[in-house]
Homo-oligomer: A and B are copies of this chain.
Amino acid sequence: MELKEAIAKLTELQTKMYAYRTASSALYLDGVTVAPKDTSAGRGVALGILAGEEHKLFAAPEVGELIAFLKDKKSELDELTARQVEILDRNYAQLSKIPMNEYVEYAQLTNEASDIWHRAKETNDFELFRPVLEKLVKFNIKFAGYYDGTKKPYDALLNEYERGVDMVYLDDFFAKVRSKLVPLIKKIGEKPQIDDSFLYKKYPVEIQRKFSDYIMEVMGLNRAHCTIGETEHPFTLNFNSQDVRITTNYSENSLADSLYSVIHEGGHALYELNVDPAYDYNCLSGGVSMGVHESQSRFYENIIGRSEAFAKAIFPKVKEFFPEQLEGVDAEMFYRAINKAQPSLIRTESDELTYSFHVMIRYEIEKQLIGGTLEVKDVPAEWNRLYKEYLGVDVPDDTHGCLQDSHWSGGSFGYFPSYALGSAYGVQMLRKMEKEINVWDSVAKGDLAPVTAWLKENVHKYGCLKDPAEIVKIACGGEFDAKYYVEYLEEKFSKLYNL
């Protein structure tokens, strides 16, 4: 085989994989946004077959030979092709170990599980979800062995979401976070609490929809390439760098829920939209890892979105949308309200400070589930125990407990830690950004363009060209260190609560 021919084949293969991924993504997106309620069976049949065809395409021995051939010629390849070969080689080694029938069964299972989880959450019925969760856990333990048989199963799964991260690393990270933040949360608990009651007045969904349009405009999201949909559990989906979708969930009794969901997902979307379009339709496209992705979404959501500068910049406009609800409220009160720190039940609605504890709880449970030391049936009790221990709150039911997140029903075990890691990456990136551009002056004017330009240059544009750890190093200007994150939270919340 000629080198040129081999590269052409590699491109064709990746474009086909893009097509299958696009098809499955479109079906998924439809399923969780606009599809009628009782239609998952038909989608499941299609998704199962598409997953099987994709598997057949990529796990074929010829693909292994093609990759091996190109690996041998590594010195003759340009940077982009060499990186593609490296990534595909890794993926091939994994995927080719998963038997086709298991792969297809798993695709069907996650489709079905999503539906069951929705119903279970709605009716507070963990027993309904239990059997499917048991299957998902079993599959993930088995798949972990395929991913990397030399690692402990949960380490192998963690590595899928954030290459290079394992339990030793995370135990250390979370220990640092815990040691500093537990006393801080305790001190805050002794102080008079911030009044955020005006955030929970009646905020008509119709006006919130228009408010989302405004927020997307502030974020510089180009609507010709990025739309917003509505779903149960907000997410961002990228078809390619020119076609990204965010979703939100409106609650009529809350202003901040959807506001910060839109900013969070908008951060994911900016990342995807700013990846070099030359990587479209091949494996360099898209964000590099869940941790780096969350670093971007939570950067916009918290570091920018819950900053004093941003809150005060947008407040006059917020008040234009909701004059009655915000009567008598000023920018300072708004800033303080959106930062009220208080242990609570729901991760996605929790404040910046206590957020990591929600993640830790999930991490501890996943570690035990995948490690085989916790049975699925015991998840609710363990969940409730940990919420009491870490956050001091009583979980009233599973809907507000272990059934609140969609991740497990989607087959994601090992994803949650990325949220906390991403939050921490983001702060360290901020410190570098502050040295290079005038971050807060721009934000105070409501102008996020310089921030986004910096992130595009230091994070977004790379797509998967580099490993997550390399990108974190570039954007942080050195090795990752949790201290920046902890110090940032200490400083921000000490000031907010006059400690």
Contacts and interface: CB of A to CB of B under 8 A. Distances in A.
A119 B123 CA distance: 47
A226 B42 CA distance: 13
A27 interface: yes
A244 B38 CA distance: 11
Copy count, this protein chain = 2
A308 B39 CA distance: 36
B34 A46 contact: no
Interface stretch (A18-26, A373-381, A464-472, A474-482): A18-26
Contacts of A183: none
A41 B242 contact: yes
A45 B23 CA distance: 11
A38 to B, nearest CB: 4
A33 B227 CA distance: 11
Contact of A30 (B18, B26, B226): B26
A210 B227 CA distance: 23
Contacts of A53: 16, 19, 53
Contact of A15 (B22, B45, B239): B45
A36 interface: yes
A38 B206 contact: no
Nearest to A42: B240
Interface string A59-73: 000000000000000
Given A16-B49, A50-B23, A223 B36 contact: yes
A280 B42 contact: yes
A224 B229 CA distance: 19
Contacts of A27: 22-23, 26
Nearest to A238: B42
A483 interface: no
A178 to B, nearest CB: 42
A15 B48 CA distance: 11
Contacts of A19: 45-46, 48-50, 53
Interface residues of A, number: 42
A140 B248 CA distance: 43
A48 B23 CA distance: 12
B43 A243 contact: yes
Contact of A49 (B15, B29, B225, B229): B15
A227 B42 contact: no
Output the residue of A15, A49, A226, A280 with the most chain B CB within 10 A: A49
A43 B229 contact: no
Output the residue of A16, A19, A27, A229 with the most chain B CB within 10 A: A19
Contacts of A39: 224-225, 239, 242-243
Contacts of A224: 36-39
Interface in A269-287: 280-281
Nearest to A50: B19
Nearest to A12: B49
22 contacts: A15-B49, A18-B45, A18-B46, A18-B49, A19-B46, A19-B48, A19-B49, A22-B27, A22-B42, A22-B43, A22-B46, A26-B30, A29-B30, A30-B30, A36-B225, A36-B243, A38-B242, A39-B224, A42-B242, A42-B281, A43-B243, A45-B281
